[in-house]
């Protein structure tokens, strides 16, 4: 599997550390680069879902939030995110979700 460049939007440093530990083979970025990322992971509770979806229309977007943030989950679905999960499910299934959303990297 090729290394994916994963843009993190609104992801706090603690959770970024968890993702980096779970997925050491991937490259995580937090700022815009000249090249588009292979995947965007978004903390829905900390950013505007529509803005992210508009900024990356051709990039798979994986959104997460806590299970009580039903408005955020709805907003991410409405914005057209490719996959929306609660934070605990992201931690448990992150590798599987990334492989599902970036099949061209196989």
- Residue-wise pLDDT for 50-100, tens only, equals 999 999 999 999 999 999 999 999 999 999 999 999 999 999 999 999 999
pTM here? 0.92
The alpha-carbon radius of gyration of the chain (Å, integer) is: 13
Note the maximum CA span of the chain. 36
Q: Which residue has the tokens 């959104």?
A: 63
> pLDDT by residue (tens digit) across 34-61?
788 999 999 999 999 999 999 999 999 9
Rounded CA separation 10/93 (Å): 20
pLDDT of residue 13: 94
Check residue 106 and give its pLDDT.
58
């Amino acid at each position: 599997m090729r290394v994916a460049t994963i843009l993190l939007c609104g992801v706090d440093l603690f959770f970024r550390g968890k993702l980096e530990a779970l997925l050491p083979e991937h490259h995580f970025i937090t700022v815009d680069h000249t090249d588009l990322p292979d995947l965007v992971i978004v903390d829905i509770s900390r950013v505007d879902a529509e803005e992210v979806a508009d900024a990356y229309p051709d990039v798979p977007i994986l959104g997460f939030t806590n299970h009580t943030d039903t408005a955020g989950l709805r907003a991410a679905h409405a914005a057209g995110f490719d996959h929306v999960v609660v934070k605990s499910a992201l931690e448990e299934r992150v590798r599987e979700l990334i492989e599902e959303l970036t099949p061209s990297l196989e």
